[in-house]
Amino acid sequence: MIVFPNCKINLGLHITRKRPDGFHDLETVFYPLPVNDALEIIAHPSLQFASSGIPVPGEAADNLCIRAFHLLQRDFPQVQPVNIHLHKHIPIGAGLGGGSADAAFMLRLLNQKFQLGLSDTVLADYAAQLGSDCPFFIYNRPCYATGRGEIMDPIDLDLSGYSFVLVHPGIHVNTGWAFKQLTPQAPAYALREKIQSPVATWRGLITNDFEAPVFSAYPVLAGIKEQLYAAGALYAAMSGSGSAVVGIFPKNKIADILWDASYRVFTIR
Ligand SMILES: C[C@](O)(CO)[C@H](O)COP(=O)(O)OP(=O)(O)OC[C@H]1O[C@@H](n2ccc(N)nc2=O)[C@H](O)[C@@H]1O
Ligand SMILES: Nc1ncnc2c1ncn2[C@@H]1O[C@H](COP(=O)(O)OP(=O)(O)OP(=O)(O)O)[C@@H](O)[C@H]1O
């Protein structure tokens, strides 16, 4: 069985409170986009893991795919060993939720393969144990999220009439570090309502609290955002804790931009 975990972007992101458990309460809008990894499982006498594409830092045992496997196997003995192959294409440490997507898709694959019959709500509870962004990928549709990012409320937001450019300059932003740079505060506006206004009005309106500290540490990111606007973006912002910056353009109206050759650039027309 093979699936293609996709990435997400955050449209607006407000960090509202530091919690006693060390996490932060936030509000954001998650939107799925088709930049994909590939994740395959095949029945095998022992649990195996291999990856290709972008190298994933850390030990295989710590890969979120393996952690997702153990999480379900602990509670469901009918989950048998599998050979896992991950082809990594979504940039890592980019604010695109790639690792979280792999974990959530792994839970869904195992649910299907071993006929566990788990509902999305139950799968999302397991996903939340693997990462704050993970539950979103169980639903994988536009959502307004609160709590530490795991409380999901699907919203009507259809951006299929736009084109997207995602730019990743190769900077790996550590999510924990990024949260430590922030002073939580009450949002200045109601994101859930403002996101329903036309994309052309979002500039200066829909904001990501991580931009100030992350742009200050990596000024090149502010320059990428400016370049996206110069190329005709209706809206541009950093996704999550960075470092990917996304531009939303009128359909197929993207001026040519000469990006640095070391950047990874994804265009979704
Ligand atoms: C920045 C976002 O991508 C926005 O969608 C997410 O909030 C990050 O979610 P994630 O990568 O799944 O993060 P996790 O793996 O759960 O947490 C990584 C680290 O980020 C910090 N963290 C994460 C989420 C959150 N709501 N508050 C936090 O303070 C914690 O220090 C945590 O140890
Ligand atoms: N399948 C995986 N894909 C990517 N990273 C993984 C995976 N499994 C474990 N990791 C670990 O998670 C770290 C990346 O997490 P990080 O949260 O920074 O990035 P991400 O999940 O790609 O996206 P985001 O920045 O949106 O959270 C890597 O350094 C790696 O050690």
Per-residue pLDDT tens for 41-100? 999 999 999 999 999 999 999 999 999 999 999 999 999 999 999 999 999 999 999 999
Distance of CA 257 to the CA centre of its chain: 25
Write down the pLDDT at residue 108. Answer: 98
Q: Please state, in angstroms and rounded to a whole number, the distance separating the CA atoms of residues 158 and 267.
A: 18
Q: How far is CA 255 from the centre of its chain?
A: 26
pLDDT in tens, 3-41: 999 999 999 999 999 999 999 999 999 999 999 999 999
The interface pTM score, or ipTM, of the predicted complex is 0.94
pLDDT class of 135 with cuts at 50, 70, 90: very high
Closest C-alpha to ligand 2, atom 3: 99
Q: How far, in Å, CA of 205 to CA of 238, rounded?
A: 14
- For ligand 1, atom 6, the nearest C-alpha belongs to 133
- Ligand lying nearest the CA atom of residue 243: 2
pLDDT at 197 over 90: yes
CB of residue 16 inside a 6 A radius of ligand 1:
no
Residue 195's alpha-carbon distances to 37, 51, 159, 235, in angstroms, are 28, 37, 11, 12
Residue 8 is a catalytic residue = yes
Nearest Cα residue to atom 20 of ligand 1: 176
Residues flanking ligand 2, CB < 6 Å: 56-58, 62-65, 86, 92-100, 102, 133, 175, 240
Is the confidence at residue 255, as pLDDT, over 90? no
The strand pairing partners of 151, in sequence order, are 146
Does any ligand 1 atom lie closer than 6 A to the CB of residue 99? Answer: no
pLDDT value of residue 252: 87
Q: Taking residues 106-132, what's their average pLDDT?
A: 98
Cβ-count burial 199-225 (b if 16+ within 10 Å, e if not): beebeeebbbbbbebbbeebeebbebb
Identify the pLDDT of residue 75.
Answer: 98
Domains of the chain: 2-154 (3.30.230.10), 162-268 (3.30.70.890)
SS3 string, the chain, reads CEECCEEEEEEEEEEEEECCCCCEEEEEEEEEEEEECEEEEEECCCCEEEEEECCCCCCHHHCHHHHHHHHHHHHCCCCCCEEEEEEECCCCCCCCCHHHHHHHHHHHHHHHHCCCCCCHHHHHHHHHCCCCCHHHHHHCCCEEEECCCCEEEECCCCCCCEEEEEEECCCCCCHHHHHHCCCCCCCCCCHHHHCCCCHHHCCCCCCECCHHHHHHHCCHHHHHHHHHHHCCCCEEEECCCCCCEEEEEECCCCCCCCCCCCCEEEEEC
| CA 126/CA 139 separation, integer angstroms | 13
250 alpha carbon – ligand 1 mean position (Å): 31
Token pair, residue 192, equals 């859930």
Determine if residue 91 is labeled as part of a ligand binding site.
Answer: yes
Output the pLDDT for position 142. 98
